[in-house]
């Protein structure tokens, strides 16, 4: 994985229960023709980190305010996510469309569910994936976060939202044995960077040794190299 000035950047490694249908994701098969391999090679060559994208650890409260204006609460709270999504589209040349897909961690299944809290099993669902990208036979499910500054709110975001979500992704991969399904957890921010070691610990657990290559946890800047090496 590409190096970074941030040591912990991560570059190194429907509304009711009956309508929540298990997402159908067919297991990919290796390309069977020479043209398929060539097409995937061309895709990889076209992926590049856009100019101006900085290391995630350099996003402080001050830097985020400078770039996005007021973020906490209101419409401004979506500005960092909108920026990340726009750069992903720019750097990969592919859409990164919003989704209502979540993981039911109890069943280890991916499901389309826009409003899980309407049902008694609502707490069995993770947050929804913020985006989806398709590269030939492979799909990348994207989770976007920007966590800056220290405090209880930041800790809860990383510990109670992000960490269980990544854990659910890994468990889903272990159970499903899918080889066409990838997860990208793009965490920018100085606080996210400082806690990246916790995610490295999770990815390094023995039970996830065969699937960790399908999961990215790191900043936006490192995402593009990871896609080129692991997805395309």
pLDDT in tens, 39-73: 555 566 699 999 999 999 999 999 888 887 766 55
pLDDT at 36: 46
pLDDT at 69: 72
Say if 38 falls within a structural domain. yes
Domain that holds residue 217: 17-25+33-231
Q: How far apart are CA 149 and CA 118, in angstroms?
A: 33
Q: How far apart are CA 107 and CA 105, in angstroms?
A: 6
Q: Which of 124, 138, 135 is nearest to 93 (CA)?
A: 135
Say if 21 falls within a structural domain. yes
Say if 136 falls within a structural domain. yes
For residue range 180-195, what is the model confidence (pLDDT) as tens digits?
999 999 999 999 999 9
Say if 194 falls within a structural domain. yes
Residue 138's DSSP bridge partners are: 135
Q: How far apart are CA 232 and CA 227, in angstroms?
A: 6
Confidence band (pLDDT; 50, 70, 90) for 8? low
Q: CA distances (Å), 18 to each of 121, 124, 125, 127, 140, in order?
A: 12, 15, 15, 19, 27
pLDDT at 142: 98
Say whether pLDDT at 35 is over 50: no
Say if 156 falls within a structural domain. yes
Q: How far apart are CA 221 and CA 54, in angstroms?
A: 6
Say if 166 falls within a structural domain. yes
- What percent of the chain has a predicted confidence (pLDDT) above 70? 77
Say if 65 falls within a structural domain. yes
Q: Which of 3, 9, 89 is nearest to 49 (CA)?
A: 89
Kind of pairing, strands 131-135 and 138-146?
antiparallel
Q: Which of 202, 148, 197 is nearest to 9 (CA)?
A: 197
Q: How far is CA 207 from the centre of its chain?
A: 20
Handedness of CA 204, 142, 25, 45 (dihedral sign): negative
Angle at 162 between CA 194 and CA 94, to 5 degrees: 100
Angle at 103 between CA 99 and CA 109, to 5 degrees: 120
Token pair of 170 as six digits: 């890994």
Three state DSSP letters for 33-67: CHHHHHHHHHHHHCCCCCCCCCCHHHCCHHHHHHH
Q: Residue 13 contacts by C-beta under 8 Å, 6 or more apart in sequence?
A: 1, 200, 203, 212, 217, 218
Cβ–Cβ < 8 Å for 182, 140: yes
Per the structure, the count of domains in the chain is 1
Say if 134 falls within a structural domain. yes
Q: How far apart are CA 62 and CA 166, in angstroms?
A: 28
Say whether pLDDT at 156 is over 90: yes
Q: How far apart are CA 56 and CA 215, in angstroms?
A: 18
């Amino acid at each position: 994985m590409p190096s970074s000035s941030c040591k912990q950047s991560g570059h190194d490694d429907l509304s009711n229960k009956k309508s929540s249908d298990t997402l159908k994701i067919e297991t990919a098969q290796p390309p069977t023709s020479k043209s398929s391999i060539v097409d995937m090679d061309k895709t990889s060559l076209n992926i590049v980190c856009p100019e101006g994208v900085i290391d995630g650890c350099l996003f402080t409260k001050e830097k985020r305010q400078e770039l996005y204006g007021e973020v906490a609460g209101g419409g401004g709270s979506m500005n960092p996510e909108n920026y990340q999504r726009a750069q992903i589209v720019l750097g990969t040349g592919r859409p990164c469309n919003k989704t209502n897909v979540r993981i039911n961690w109890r069943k280890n299944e991916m499901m389309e569910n826009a409003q899980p809290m309407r049902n008694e099993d609502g707490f069995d669902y993770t947050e929804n994936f913020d985006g989806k990208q398709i590269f030939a036979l492979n799909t990348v499910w994207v989770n976007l976060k920007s966590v800056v500054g220290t405090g209880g709110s930041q800790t809860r975001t990383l510990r109670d939202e992000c960490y269980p979500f990544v854990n659910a992704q890994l468990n889903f991969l272990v159970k499903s044995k899918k080889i066409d399904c990838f997860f990208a957890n793009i965490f920018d921010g100085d606080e996210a960077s400082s806690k990246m070691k916790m995610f490295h610990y999770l990815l390094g657990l023995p039970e996830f040794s065969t699937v960790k290559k399908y999961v990215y946890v790191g900043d936006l800047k490192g995402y593009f190299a990871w896609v080129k090496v692991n997805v395309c």
